Amino acid sequence: MGWIDQRGSTVLTRNECLRLLALHAGGVGRVGVATSGAPLIVPVNYRMLGPDVLLQIGRGTMLDAVDRGYPLGFEVDRDVPPDAWSVYVRGRARRLEGVPGVAQAMAGGATAVVPQPGTALVVIRSDVVSGRQFPLPDDRMGEMTSRELGELALRPPVRLAADATIRDVAAAMEAEQAPAVVLGEHPMWLVSEHDLVGALAAGLEPGSAACQVATRVPLWATTTTTVEEAAALMARHCVEHLIVITADGALVGVLSRREALRHLVQERDQSPGRAVTSASAGLRV
pLDDT digits (tens, 9 = 90+) for 23-42: 888 778 899 988 777 788 88
| Domain C-terminal end among 110, 139, 168 | 139
117/235: higher pLDDT: 235
DSSP state of 87: E
Smallest Cα–Cα separation from 116: which of 29, 74, 56? 56
97/141: higher pLDDT: 97
Q: Are 38 and 65 in contact (CB under 8 A)?
A: no
Cβ neighbours of 94 (radius 10 Å): 15
Residues 197 and 179 both lie in one domain: yes
| Domain C-terminal end among 139, 162, 193 | 139
Edge-to-edge strands of the sheet including 241-245? 220-222, 241-245, 251-256
Which residues, in sequence order, are bridge partners of residue 84? 79, 134
Does residue 4 carry a pLDDT above 70?
no
Query: Does residue 75 belong to any structural domain of this protein?
Result: yes
Residues 116 and 154 both lie in one domain: no
Domain with 123 in it: what CATH number?
2.30.110.10
d(CA 234, CA 237): 5
Domain that residue 273 falls in? 149-281
State how many domains the chain has. Answer: 2
Question: What is the pLDDT at residue 7?
Answer: 63
**Where are the strands (E) in 58-105, listed by range?**
71-80, 83-95
| Domain C-terminal end among 89, 117, 139 | 139
Query: Does residue 96 belong to any structural domain of this protein?
Result: yes
Query: Does residue 4 belong to any structural domain of this protein?
Result: no
Query: Whole-prediction pTM value?
Result: 0.50
Question: What is the pLDDT at residue 168?
Answer: 96
In tens, the pLDDT along 111-166 reads 445 555 667 889 999 999 999 988 877 554 445 467 889 888 888 889 999 999 99
Question: What is the pLDDT at residue 159?
Answer: 93
Mean pLDDT, rounded, of the chain: 80
